[in-house]
Amino acid sequence: MSSIVVLGSANMDLVVRQPRLPEPGETMFGSSFATVPGGKGLNQAIAAARVGGDVAFLGAVGGDAFGRELRETLTAAGVDTTGIALVERPTGTAHISVLDGGENAIVVVPDANGVELPLDDVQRDAIRAARSLVVQFERPLPLVAEALAFARSVGVTTVVTPAPVLPLPDGFLDHVDVLVPNAGEARELAGVSDEADAARALSLRVGTVVMTRGARGALVARGGEIVAEVQPHPVTPVDTTGAGDTFTGVLVARLAAGDAEPDALRAASVAAAIATTRPGASPSMPTWPEVEPHLR
């Protein structure tokens, strides 16, 4: 059994590089197109595995070429794929516009990821044996809530990336040990305009908040107070797709490896920065030998 279980989405990213977003009704030329394995769940699983994490992935794909490629990509990264369900919907896709400045805009079509599936015995056994469960909101929220509640009931640490932000049922955050939103997600989830206030407010409802802020690093909040600031690792970004997922995956993997929290946070910050210097999501994620020299 794996020490880290990621329950989440697996998409094929359809990536177009372009100078800017088009205006309504406008047609414009892009400079390149690529298909890249992605999805927040798959990204986090691969990011964790590349820095030494022992990872299992619980997801859903269709019986199409995209689904086969996603399974092969996870397996090649060393991720256990026995918990992936084969469903009768097409594999999910994400349609990504990468702008010349490195920022991105994304439209996700869930398809297989959106199929309502309860946890089965294989998935429960995987979670029960793990140290950490990592989830996002690209799978049906009832499934995510069920997994979190089960993980907490068997003493497994729960890590949540609240993306995309959704209305949450009462008590949902009670099952969250570590919440890893970006600044926009934190503000929306907390219902306040200031990002530090959002982190403080959310930390009164969960164990720890680690709020990522892109090139400005990250803030850590507990018990209504900001307790740490993670400095950014300076780079010149090429494509920010998957940077947040890299941060989360590496953070969880390094904590599972026994790193102290400040060291794990620093490693996550460096890894996420390195990922922005390369195109694509999962292909951009660094290995531990690429991250570790920057930590000395």
Look at the pTM and tell me if it is higher than 0.85.
Answer: yes
pLDDT along the chain (296 residues), means of 10: 93 93 95 92 97 97 97 97 96 91 85 93 95 97 96 97 93 96 97 97 97 95 97 90 94 96 97 92 92 93
The length of the chain in residues reads 296
Tell me which residues are annotated as active site: 245
- Flag whether 182 is marked binding: yes
Six-digit token string for 287:
């290995």
113 a known binding residue? Answer: no
**Is there a binding annotation on residue 75?**
no
277 has binding-site annotation:
no
Q: What is the CA radius of gyration of the chain?
A: 18
**CA dist 162 → 99, 116, 168, 182, 201 (Å):** 24, 19, 10, 9, 15
CATH class held by domain 4-10+40-91+112-176+233-281? alpha beta
The gap between the terminal CA atoms of the chain, to the nearest Å, is: 32
pLDDT at 16: 93
Domain boundaries, the chain: 4-10+40-91+112-176+233-281
Rounded-to-integer distance, Cα 271 and Cα 56, Å: 20
